[in-house]
Amino acid sequence: MAAANPASDDAILIADDIGVRFETQEGPVIAVDDVSFKVKQGEFLSVIGPSGCGKSTLFNVIGGLLSNHQGIVTVAGERIDGPHKSIGMVFQEESTFPWRTVVDNVAFPLELVGMPKQKRIERARHFIRMVGLDGFAKRYPGELSGGMRQRVSLARTLASEPKILLMDEPFAALDEQTRLLLGDKVLQIQQQLKQTTLLITHNITEAVQMSDRILVMTYRPGKVKRIVDIDLPRPRTSEIVTSEPFGRYVAKIWADLREEASRGMQDEESHVLHQHPGTAS
Amino acid sequence: MSARGAIAPNFGDYVPVAIGVVAVVMFFLAVEALVQTGVVNRFIVPPPSEVLGSFPRVIEEEDVIGRFLLTASECLTAGVMLTVFGVAGGVLMHRYKLLQDAIETWVAALASAPVVLMYPLFLVIFGRSAWTIIMMGFIAALPPVILKTIEGLAGTRKVLVNVGRSFNLTGSQQFWMILFPAALPTIFVGLRLGLIFALINIVGVEFLINFGGLGQLINELAERYDLAGTYAAICFVILVSIVFFMALEKIERWLRPVH
């Protein structure tokens, strides 16, 4: 599959001149500055950047959880000023409801729209099967592993049938092997549903494995450094990580990120020295 | 996957219970031995065998069942009031920051105040009736329920609140579908503490104003210097506590069946 053209007019999601500024004790901090991009229908776009580059802030802006920002976000031509039913969010932290069974967790958005119980249970089971958790519908999240719980969160979000799936480092807390396998699962679902997906991540392998395009951000203030088209064949699986073109993309992204990550590290060190000047040896 | 299939009861699950029972039996045997050998004065601590032997007499002659039911019903009334007003108070204080800032410290101060000493005031307000006892139990037990409700609601993980926001929940949906169930375990800790406070105060005030219930029975038996009977009556107070704790646990599991 060819990479999506960022300038195409059939963009379903448009972020235009997004800027976020926080007031801190040490003065104002510009977390995100002048970030603009488009996501095409059915496209998988990853946003990658070093820690502190404002990735999660951008996630909150697009998801409508952060209202005090500059710029405009539109979904299918409609301006987003708050949480919107067109956008389904999967969070970095474990976010299943521990008091609900898997099936009740997944049926949550269907309950909100007043779907009859029998129908929503059937629908929820469909998404549970999709994420590979068939047989665990009556279990509670406390009985599942971290990776299984993230799949429940994913199924719950998919059940709301969003136009755009927005994920903030959903596998960050998982080990590398589970992460690769869950990446397979997300790819499979994304390809099956033709789901427009925006993934926020700091993991280069994950981004290259799944994306059509990767937006590389600079360290603070977070700006768009470069957008890289990933021209790898689809359907993909985690086996692609062993291919030579994959390695080239990883190297290319890392070349962009390395400078930013170094800047971030130096900034953190000087921040610590500034806060505790007497402790440096 | 390990989570598949029914979880078979394991012999190891019963070991802690068995150790607990054996420890209690050993304790009473040790007390029995100390009293029988004269190390502990039997006119201060009656031997456990004597306490056990006094049960039929106390049950038959002192209307223990009726008194047990009276104390339990006072406790139940205070418990229901605690659940309604305590949890509602906590919810309001969590909802309105100004209210919380204004009175949370006073509520915390009330938790450590010896409310039982205010019984003459309650006698004046409610008369020598069960309501004096219930209201004293209720007031004394209110602070932990309010404080734990606030703690539970405030401690709801931010990501769960954000999940609710991402699904565009209304304020009421956010409360009933996310905040409240997330806070339930902590609220139940408050209710358990509250019931302990309520029971102590209810039995204490029954004892002080000599008005029905197990507290009055303990008072009467102590006045008669019937030590074995007094300890037997105390066992029934413990039974009230056990009944309420078991009921609370059942309700909690029904409301929030977490594994």
Element (H, E) at B106: helix B97-111
**Residue type present at position B69:** L
Query: Which residues make Cβ contacts (< 8 Å) with residue B59, sequence separation at least 6?
Result: B65
Quick one: pLDDT at residue B7? 55
A1-86+201-251 belongs to which CATH class?
alpha beta
Quick one: pLDDT at residue B212? 84
A142: which chain B residues are within 8 Å (Cβ-Cβ)?
258-259
Q: Which of B3, B165, B182 sits opposite A139 (nearest CB)?
A: B3
pLDDT tens digits along A54-107:
999 999 999 999 988 999 999 988 998 889 889 999 999 999 999 999 999 999
Q: Which of A65, A139, A160 sits opposite B162 (nearest CB)?
A: A65
Chain B residue with the nearest C-alpha to that of A134: B4
Q: What is the mean pLDDT of chain A?
A: 89
pLDDT tens digits along B162-211:
999 999 999 999 999 999 999 999 999 999 999 999 999 999 999 988 88
| Domains and their CATH numbers in chain B | 1-45 (no CATH), 52-255 (1.10.3720.10)
B159 and A93 within 8 Å at the Cβ level: the answer is yes
The whole-angstrom distance between B4's CA and the closest CA on chain A is 7
A140 and B259 within 8 Å at the Cβ level: the answer is yes
A95: which chain B residues are within 8 Å (Cβ-Cβ)?
159-160, 162-163
Q: CA-to-CA distance for A240 and A247, rounded, in angstroms?
A: 9
Q: CA-to-CA distance for B255 and B140, rounded, in angstroms?
A: 26
Q: Which segments in chain B show pLDDT lower than 70?
A: 1-9, 258-259
> Chain B residues within 8 A (CB-CB) of chain A?
1, 3-4, 157, 159-160, 162-163, 165-169, 173, 177-178, 181-182, 184, 256-259
Assign A1 a pLDDT band (cuts: 50, 70, 90): very low
Quick one: pLDDT at residue A278? 64
pLDDT tens digits along A241-272:
899 999 999 999 999 888 888 877 877 777 77
B256: which chain A residues are within 8 Å (Cβ-Cβ)?
99
- Sheet harboring A70-75: ordered strands across? A27-40, A11-24, A70-75, A78-79
- Alpha carbon B95 to chain centroid, angstroms: 27
Q: CA-to-CA distance for A204 and A95, rounded, in angstroms?
A: 24
pLDDT of A183 > 90? The answer is no
B257 and A84 within 8 Å at the Cβ level: the answer is no
| Domain spans of chain A, in order of start | 1-86+201-251
Q: Of A275, A89, A120, which is closest to residue A200 (Cα–Cα)?
A: A89
Bridge partner residues of A72 (DSSP): A16
